[in-house]
Amino acid sequence: MSSKVQTLGEFIIGNQSEFAYSTGELSRLINSIRLAAKVVNHEVNKAGLVDITGAVGDTNIQGEEQQKLDVYANEKFIQTLTNREIVCGIASEEEDDFITIKGHNKDHQNKYVVLIDPLDGSSNIDVNISVGTIFSIYRRITPEGTPVTLKDFLQPGRNQVAAGYIMYGTSTMMVYTTGHGVNGFTLNPAIGTYYLSHPNIKLAETGKIYSINEGNYIKFPQGVKNYLKYCQLEEEDRPYTSRYIGSLVADIHRNMLKGGIYIYPETSTAPNGKLRLLYECNPMAMIVEQAGGKASDGFTRILDIQPTELHQRVPFFCGSKKMVEKAEEFMQKEG
């Protein structure tokens, strides 16, 4: 690569040949996500100045109270992807069901479906903590020219052709993979351009950070409790440091750069965990694996799980490979 810093647009074009079906459609799709993210970023950054924070009074399909920015981000991503006519279907964490999209000829010729968490961690907006967008892209499996069906979205994570997240924090970053490593791009807000700032991100095999909501400790399975005790022991390379932001994108991003493990296990009150397989766990698992890490439900590789429903939840262990493997050891000992 030359000494000139690449823009995200230049990077997408320069690496288009890596895509399995290189027709330019996937490049345009990632560009559309970039555009929508810039619009959402603008609203997030002025959230404290206008009446866009707080709840709208409705709940989403998850039973969670919707924040105003949740609704705004959801609308902007769906609007951008629909208007550009580059996907045949969208599934959003904020929507009850998937959305079928026809092309300008009223056909269904597009190849890709997108699954998206438009604004992860939005409950933190009011206190100025980083939030993010998470996206996952699959090639449809039903015949082109027909409407998408549920099975286009219920694919195991290993079928993803791209995945990424945008973090709206002290700086705005887009981190994504198309299955050929992970790269991070930072937005220059003065000119509205993303620049390659973190090329070829590699996750350390082990780290010093564990991220989990320890307030739920009493509800955790015994294997998780045992692993946390292991993390806290005075040993040669421990105790580890506990760092938990409560915003998935921010917690994963920190561990991607510094090494560590993120855990959101099942609990006695949420036996399937809290995080959504399709909108959160699969895309994060693909990113982490492409950076050399590992993602598991404690027993099974996340990307090998066959989804059975659109808003399915699973336990999530994700991060540095050796740390996740150690956590799995503790889980498997307790069955």
Residue 28 burial by CB count (10 A; 0-12/13-18/19+): exposed, middle or buried? Answer: middle
**Strands, E assignment, 85-156:** 89-92, 99-100, 112-120, 131-139
Say whether 119 counts as a known binding-site residue: yes
CA distances from 201 to 177, 185, 220 (A): 10, 11, 32
- Residue indicated by tokens 């000829």: 105
Say whether 96 counts as a known binding-site residue: no
Q: How many CB atoms lie within 10 A of CB 61?
A: 13
Say whether 68 counts as a known binding-site residue: no
Say whether 280 counts as a known binding-site residue: yes
Say whether 123 counts as a known binding-site residue: yes
Say whether 120 counts as a known binding-site residue: yes
Q: What share of residues in the chain are helix, strand, coil (percent, to 5)?
A: 35, 25, 40
Distance CA 100, CA 49 (A): 36
Say whether 274 counts as a known binding-site residue: yes
The length of the chain is 335
Say whether 126 counts as a known binding-site residue: no
CA dihedral 16→150→165→174, nearest 10 degrees, is: 30
Radius of gyration, alpha carbons of the chain: 19
The three-state secondary structure class of 302 is: helix
Distance CA 47, CA 126 (A): 8
Please provide residue 228's backbone torsions phi and psi, each rounded to the nearest 5 degrees: -65, -40
Say whether 138 counts as a known binding-site residue: no
Say whether 51 counts as a known binding-site residue: no
Distance CA 201, CA 289 (A): 11
Residue 122 burial by CB count (10 A; 0-12/13-18/19+): exposed, middle or buried? Answer: buried
**Residue positions forming the annotated binding site:** 93, 117, 119-123, 213, 244, 274, 280
**Residue positions forming the annotated binding site for substrate:** 120-123, 213, 244, 274
**Residue positions forming the annotated binding site for Mg(2+):** 93, 117, 119-120, 280
